[in-house]
Amino acid sequence: MHVIRDDGSLDSTLDPGAVVLRAPLMAVIRHKLLCWYDEVGRDLPWRQTRDPYAIWVSEVMLQQTRVETVIPYYERFLESFPTTHALAQADEDAVLSHWSGLGYYRRARLLHAGVREVVAEYGGEVPEDADARRALPGIGRYTAGAIGSIAFDKEEPIVDGNVARVLSRLLRIKTPIGAAVTTNRLWQEAARLVPGERPGDLNQALMELGATVCTPKKPRCESCPVAEACEALAHAEVETLPVPRPRKAPKEVKLTAVVATRGRGAERKVWLVKGDQPLFGGLWGVPMAEGSARIVLSDAGLRGRLGSDPVADVEHVLTHRRLRIDVYRAPAARAAESKTRRPFAAEELEGVGVSTLTRKVLAAAL
């Protein structure tokens, strides 16, 4: 591998490959990143607090979700659940209703479980100890590092998609993102870079750089505070790094949904069911599964008159699946109400967890 000497020059007598930064240059990079972050870092609501619980909420919401989308969800969530105790005391429906439309609902359930454990085991105080944090439900290496560095000023590294892209270009890492060798290398380099003053701000500067300058396409290298140290830029490889992981085409899945209702006009309610589904577990939704409409309705414990043809065809794309749903209506449907099956008026849907897909199906049918 290449090694950068203390004077910043490249020692090319070693095997070709990725770069390992020497301590003096790392100190320069840290300083430039922090100065740049102080000058241009975005004014985001979770950057106005050192509360580990609030930071935890923000980091969970930001996983695989854009900042602009997260901001209103974050603000509403903390308005309703301002403390760990408030969230721990809330029921799952209330929590998921605040997550409706944000996607990846398992995140919300794990956050809820983790906070309940914090209240039960630590009196509601998020633990400073890194091992204790990582033992909580839903907290992995990244989230633990974000809480530790930002809330507790601990020298704990983080690697998310933005940081991975920055380090891959900076160090000219040519193994694919997602490969074990790449993941290990990125975490090692992040751990070497974080020690020093303001580790939380350093981590946020890396994320900010990846989000706003070192972007996946058309990166703005002319605005990068560490461009002079970037090996990908020096070798004209910015557009080809990082090396992406091989992607599979989304799997096509054919489903049938039944919008079963009772009553008419202003009195109309729609029957929803709740179950441990792999995609939308814990959420209320219309009966939906593979198979005929009659079987889907029956398996949900409902009886009603079905139309012979679907009234709509809905498509919904998830990360690894492309769902195609034939939507049927079943007016005047009947069933025994239970904890996992009951009719909802339109205004009641705002108070429970309902997926974006269910809202699309309801809009198409009603």
pLDDT digits (tens, 9 = 90+) for 267-314: 899 999 987 655 666 788 899 999 999 999 999 999 988 888 899 999
Is residue 3's pLDDT more than 80?
no
Whether cis (ω within 30° of 0) applies to the bond prior to 242 is yes
User: Mean pLDDT, the chain, as a whole number?
Assistant: 90
pLDDT band at 206 (very low <50, low <70, confident <90, very high): very high
User: How are beta strands 321-330 and 251-262 bridged, if at all?
Assistant: parallel
How far apart, in whole angstroms, are the C-alpha atoms of residue 49 and residue 37? Answer: 17
The DSSP symbol for 215 reads -
Q: Which contacts qualify for 14-22: CB closer than 8 Å, 24 or more apart? A: 17/174, 18/171, 18/172, 18/173, 18/174, 18/185, 18/231, 19/170, 19/171, 19/172, 19/231, 20/171, 20/189, 21/171, 21/189, 21/192, 21/193, 21/229
Active site residues: 59
Q: Tokens 């901001």, residue?
A: 71
Q: Are 42 and 208 in contact (CB under 8 A)?
A: yes
Read off φ and ψ for residue 341, nearest 5 degrees. -155, 115
Alpha helices in 153-301 (DSSP H): 161-170, 180-193, 199-212, 231-234, 293-299
pLDDT single digits (tens) 80-96? 999 999 999 999 889 99
Q: Which residue has the higher pLDDT, 340 or 2?
A: 340
Q: Count other C-beta atoms under 10 Å from residue 304's C-beta.
A: 20
Q: Which residue has the higher pLDDT, 115 or 321?
A: 115
pTM (2 d.p.):
0.80
Instruction: Give the chain's domains with CATH numbers.
Output: 2-240 (1.10.340.30), 251-365 (3.90.79.10)
Q: How far is CA 90 from CA 76, 77, 137, 276, in A?
A: 14, 12, 17, 19
